[in-house]
Amino acid sequence: MKTFFRTFFAFFVILSFTVLAADEIASIRESAEQGNPEAQYKLGLSYETGKGIEKNEKEAFNWYTKAAEQNDLDAQYKLGQFYAKGTGVSRNNKKAVEWYRKAAEGGIVEAQIDLGICYETGTGTGKDIPEAIKWYRMAADLKNVKALYKLGYCYESYREVQSDDKAAIWYRRAAERGSAEAQYKIGLFYETGKGVEKSVTDAVHWYAKAAVQGVLDAQAKLGRYYEKGEGGVPKNMATAVQWYTRAAEQGYGDARFLFELGGYYEEGKGVKKSMKEALKWYRKAAVQDGQYAGKAQYALGRCYEAGKGVIKDLPEAVNWYRKAAEQRNPDAQYRLAICYKNGNGVEKDMVEAVKWYEEAANQGIVDAQYRLAVCYETGDGIQKNMTEAARWYEKAANQGIVDAQYRLAVCYENGSGVPKNMTAAVHWFKKAADQGNSNAMIRLGAYYEHSLDGDQNTNANLEKLLTALMWYGKAAKQNDSNAKRKVTEISNRIEKIRKEIERQRVKNGEFPLKE
């Protein structure tokens, strides 16, 4: 029973309001039809909003026209809007300007701003920045925040009135009255010293205010300052990532911004590691264009290849590597080549592997340069070409790839793809040996062992054998059985030569050879 009475009472209240609204509209209509401009405006507003009457934009336009022709300022402004938007009437920007002007001259601030915009953009009238400023200034004198901002924008942007000093003044006034856009702009001015004395601290102050109001560029800027610990804020990656994420969640960010945000989540930089979040931002970056989209695509390929944050899926990894490779991401080109070489996620194809090795190698990926050289040397996936092999070995060798250094040394030793040059061969064997390559150590040992001059019983030959012994010894320490055998052999030869040299010195009346 109680429920019934409550329902009935609610229905009665609604019905009463409906009747009252209908009665009020009827009263307004009667007054409007008698020529009252205020009532005509109200009736037009009711038709425009559908409040108390069925919405009808054409009727709204008709009643606004009646009121406007009787100098109702609000109606005149409404007509300007209707003509500008094509609401209830065909769009006519010239007519919009006429009615905006009437309302603006009567002191309607919004009309002054819209008229200023028409002059600024050349909509419905000739473009005239000084005239736009005149109308913005009228509204600004009434402390209208949008007008204050527009003045700053005009002085910043248009050559015929350009003045960074004036722009800064108006932006600051708008910022102090809460304009988020102006707060961001004056922050930029302080950051760069444009129109004001440069002050990173002031820049951060205004960026913070704009960021709180949702200006995405300001949120990103503020994040950067927390990341660097500049502008009077402490270095705090957690706060930086919070601002980055907040901006990104609202749609901010180019591929670079989103890719870097993904990296922070993957690495746990300033935020708890989350591959789910990392992948989300990588995906958003990956669908964009440019270098960082390629980086994001490569990152997704890595994740699918390793099963990091997703179920391991080699074909999907190849898919992302290919997308990135086609955007000339060198790391992706190299990984795609490896996939083709090993048949990971794609049918094995050395021709395709060589193609992508070369793409990556030409962009400086050193491992690709070495592998490409091997292909040229062996003829795997491409016609054998020792000149090209030696060229790519040298590029990789110069970047410290030990196997490339060794293979380049062999090329110089044998004259394969390069003129035979033992000095160059020894140079590269030493480079490789110094990085622990036992084969290079053995080749050096052999070089010094077989470079003895004539009679073996000389101090010069002894020094060469000692050097050979040193290199064989280094290789032997890496458990190379041939090197161990050569250590024993060379040691015996050294001992014999020492004894023979000592015998000759004693015979000649010289002091015995010092140990």
8-23 pLDDT per residue, tens? 333 433 333 343 477 8
- Does a structural domain hold residue 341? no
Task: Write phi, then psi, for 451 (nearest 5 degrees).
Answer: -105, 20
Determine contact, residues 135/104, Cβ cutoff 8 Å.
Answer: yes
Give me the residue label for tokens 């059985």: 481
Q: Which of 205, 234, 252 is the last residue of a domain?
A: 252
Is residue 241 in some structural domain?
Answer: yes
406: left (phi over 0), alpha (psi -120 to 50) or beta: alpha
Say which residue the tokens 């934009």 belong to: 57
Asked, for residue 152, whether it belongs to a domain, the answer is yes
Q: What is the pLDDT of residue 510?
A: 66
Task: Classify residue 407: in a domain, yes or no.
Answer: no
Cβ-contact 424, 457 below 8 angstroms: no
pLDDT on residue 208: 97
**Is residue 290 within 8 Å of residue 296, measured between CB atoms?**
no
> What integer pLDDT is reported at residue 501 of this predicted model?
81
The whole-model pTM stands at 0.78
The first and second tokens of residue 64, run together, are 């606004």
State how far the Cα of 405 lies from the Cα of 11, in Å rounded to an integer: 92
Confirm if 198 and 192 have CB atoms less than 8 A apart: yes
Q: Can you read off the two tokens belonging to residue 28? A: 């307004």
Tokens (6 digits) for 147:
């007008």
In CATH, what number is assigned to the domain containing residue 213?
A: 1.25.40.10
Separation between Cα atoms, residue 513 and residue 278, nearest integer Å: 71
Question: Structurally, how many domains does the chain consist of?
Answer: 2
Angle between helices 57-68 and 37-49 (to 10 degrees): 160
- How many CA atoms within 13 Å lie on the side-chain side of 378? 11
> Which of the 8 DSSP states describes residue 193?
T
Residue 471 lies in a domain: yes
Location of structure tokens 């405006």: 41
In the prediction, which pLDDT does 110 show? 97
Q: Which residues of the chain have pLDDT under 70?
A: 1-20, 454-455, 510-515
Task: Return d(Cα 356, Cα 336) in angstroms, integer.
Answer: 7
- Please count the other Cβ atoms lying within 10 Å of the Cβ belonging to residue 483: 21
Tokens standing for residue 464: 């060469």
Last residue of a domain, one of 252, 287, 321: 252
Please report whether residue 128 resides in a domain. Answer: no
Residues comprising the chain, all counted: 515
Q: What is the pLDDT of residue 514?
A: 53
What was the pLDDT predicted at 500? 83
- Which of 192, 224, 252 delimits the end of a domain? 252
Domain of residue 491 covers 436-515
pLDDT digits (tens, 9 = 90+) for 47-60: 999 988 999 999 99
**Count of CB atoms situated within 10 Å of the CB of 510:** 11
Token readout for 226 is 């927390």
The C-alpha angle 151, 153, 157, rounded to 5 degrees, equals 125
Judge whether 389 lies within some domain. Answer: no
Q: How would DSSP label each residue in 330-390?
A: HHHHHHHHHHHHHTSSS---HHHHHHHHHHHHHTT-HHHHHHHHHHHHHTSSS---HHHHH
Neighbours of 92 (CB within 10 A): 15
- Burial status of residue 278 (CB atoms within 10 A of its CB: 0-12, 13-18, 19 or more): buried
Helix (H) or strand (E) run with residue 5 in it: helix 2-33
Is the Cβ–Cβ distance between 60 and 47 less than 8 Å? yes
Residue whose entry in the numeric block shows the structure tokens 């320490």: 477
The answer to whether residue 387 sits within a structural domain is no
The confidence score (pLDDT) of residue 5 equals 38
Spell out the residues 6+ positions from residue 401 whose beta carbon is closer than 8 angstroms to its own. 366, 367, 369, 370
Whole-number pLDDT of residue 13: 33
